[in-house]
Amino acid sequence: MKAEDNVSISVSILFCLMMISFSFIAETICVAQTADSSIAVRIVTDEADAVLAILAKDKSNHTITEKEWQNVFSSEGYVRLKKREASLQRTFTDDEFKTFVLSDALAGQYQSLKTTLDKWRSADVTGAATRALGYLPSGARIETKIYPVIKPKTNSFVFEVTTDPAIFLYLNSDISREQFENTLAHEFHHVGYANSCEALAVKISKDSTISTNIRTVLELIGVFGEGFAMLAAAGGPDIHPHAVSKPAEKERWDNDMKNFNDDVKRVARLFVDILDDKLTAEEIQKSAYSFFGIQGPWYTVGWKMAVTIEKTYGRAKLIECICDPRILLSTYNQAASEHNRSVRDFLATWSPSLVERIGK
């Protein structure tokens, strides 16, 4: 996901980066409720279906009725999308959405959007959720709604993750069913992380013995969860995180991974500056946000640390670190040291003084 997409994903750990009535419910919801009570997910396509119905009528030069517009505006996907935009203080009006739907650019995409929605509707959402659960603590639960939506902005995001979890995915005809399942697994991990690790996060936030600056760094360490989700979505440390992506995306990731050692230093510099009280809240937010990129250090460094820990100490130890930011850097340092003794591919580590200050 792009940086813009992560605003709501990281809302509880990065200051908010500092900081649904249906007309055709039977046809537009696909439920995946398995015998495993830890998984309860469903795809809600009512917004996309309603928009496609209008595009079909427009394409055949038939008059679009007010009832058909109301099918869009009363759909669960649209109502929650509008609520999300309002929470970010973004303008999102019905009239603006009408203009978007009737635009020439969207009209030409009718068939590709319909085909893509049909493919996504048949995705193995249970399999994606199972992969995510494999990288979460015992007892974790993934319960969420998935909204493939046709909308002006081409971003995807999660919303209300701790109250009524929702995953919004821009309906993109360039995304295959396999890529869709990978994205779902990634977002499922965020949802499962929020409900299974929340108690510890709250405990840390209320611990009066932890200084404000250390607490801020711990919250930021939690954003390495993007990398953990990449690993979970792939299904294991020996599977390329972009195995089902387009070649250009895989190549971009591989090139970014070459900057791992330098990126560790860049993130460490931010942590130290926070601990030394050198930055304002706005400066922290700006710097931290820059590490998202397309899939920047929060992803690449997080993924590499997770893989190194799992390969050295096993998945159980990694899951412990996923939930507890206080031990992630020190555990990675130990795993990287063992790696560096046996492999020429030298991995940068976090400075002992930084790890010690966080530990205090």
pLDDT for 74-89, tens place per residue?
999 999 999 999 999 9
Domain ranges, residue 328? 207-359
137 belongs to a structural domain: yes
Q: Is the pLDDT at 240 greater than 90, yes or no?
A: yes
Q: Is the pLDDT of residue 1 over 60?
A: no
Backbone dihedral angles phi then psi of residue 41, each to the nearest 5 degrees: -130, 155
Domains: count for the chain: 2
Indicate whether 147 and 191 sit together in one domain. Answer: yes
- In this structure, are residues 125 and 43 in contact, taking their beta carbons and an 8 Å threshold? yes
Q: Are residues 177 and 212 in the same domain?
A: no
> Cα separation of 188 and 128, whole Å?
8
Instruction: Tell me if 122 is assigned to some domain.
Output: yes
Residues 223 and 190 in one domain: no
Across the strands, what pairs with 149? Answer: 170
CB-based contact 135:319 (threshold 8 Å): yes
Per the domain annotation, does 293 fall within a domain? yes
- Give me the sign of the Cα torsion angle 320, 242, 183, 252: positive
User: Residue 67 pLDDT > 90, yes or no?
Assistant: yes
For residue 201, tell me if it sits in a domain: no
Average the pLDDT over 1-5 and give the result. Answer: 42
Determine the pLDDT at residue 344.
Answer: 85
Write down the pLDDT at residue 148.
Answer: 97
* Rounded-to-integer distance, Cα 69 and Cα 93, Å: 13
Place 15 in a pLDDT band, splitting at 50, 70 and 90.
very low
Mean pLDDT to the nearest integer, 211-221: 95
Please tell me whether residues 151 and 82 are part of one structural domain.
yes
pLDDT of residue 218: 95
Residue 53: strand, helix, or coil: helix
**332 has a pLDDT exceeding 60:** yes
pLDDT at 319 over 50: yes
Which pLDDT score is estimated for 9?
Answer: 35
* CA distance linking residue 297 with residue 304, whole number of Å: 10
Q: What percent of the chain has pLDDT over 70?
A: 90
Question: Does pLDDT of 27 surpass 60?
Answer: no
Does 212 share its domain with 184?
no
Q: How many angstroms separate the CA atoms of 201 and 197, rounded?
A: 6
The backbone torsions φ and ψ at residue 98, rounded to the nearest 5 degrees and listed phi first, read: -60, -45
335, 308 in Cβ contact below 8 A? yes
- Do 219 and 295 lie in a common domain? yes
pLDDT, mean of residues 207-211: 87
Q: Find, among 208, 287, 299, the residue nearest to 253 by Cα.
A: 299
Place of tokens 């249970």: 126
Task: Please tell me the predicted confidence (pLDDT) of residue 36.
Answer: 59
pLDDT digits (tens, 9 = 90+) for 146-177: 999 999 999 888 899 888 999 999 999 999 99
Q: What is the pLDDT of residue 14?
A: 43
Q: Which of 133, 165, 196 represents a domain boundary (last residue)?
A: 196
53 and 88 fall within a common domain: yes
Position 290 pLDDT exceeds 80: yes
Does 107 share its domain with 238?
Answer: no
* Cα–Cα distance list, 28 to 25, 50, 78 (Å): 5, 10, 13
Is 77 part of a structural domain of the chain? yes
Residue 229 belongs to some domain of the structure? yes
In this structure, the answer to whether residues 48 and 135 fall within a common structural domain is yes
More confident residue, 211 or 24: 211
Mean pLDDT of 332-353: 95
Distance CA 54, CA 101 (A): 8
Please report the pLDDT score of residue 201 as a whole number.
80
Same domain flag for 189 and 336: no
- Number of H helices and E strands in the chain, helices first, is 19, 5
Q: Would the pLDDT of 123 be above 90?
A: yes
Do 223 and 139 belong to one domain?
A: no
170 beta partners: 149
Can you give the pLDDT at residue 162? 82
Contacts of 227 (CB under 8 A, 6+ apart): 298, 299, 300, 301, 302, 303, 304, 305, 306
CA distance linking residue 56 with residue 49, whole number of Å: 10
Are 270 and 288 within 8 A, CB to CB?
A: yes
Domain boundary among 173, 196, 219: 196
Q: What percentage of the chain reaches a pLDDT higher than 90? A: 80
Is 170 contained in some domain? yes
Alpha carbon 185 to its chain's center: 9
Tell me which of 141, 174, 196 is where a domain ends.
196
Q: What is the mean pLDDT of the chain?
A: 89
Residue 154 lies in a domain: yes
pLDDT over 80 at 338, yes or no: yes
56 & 171 share domain: yes
Predicted TM-score (pTM) of the model is 0.85
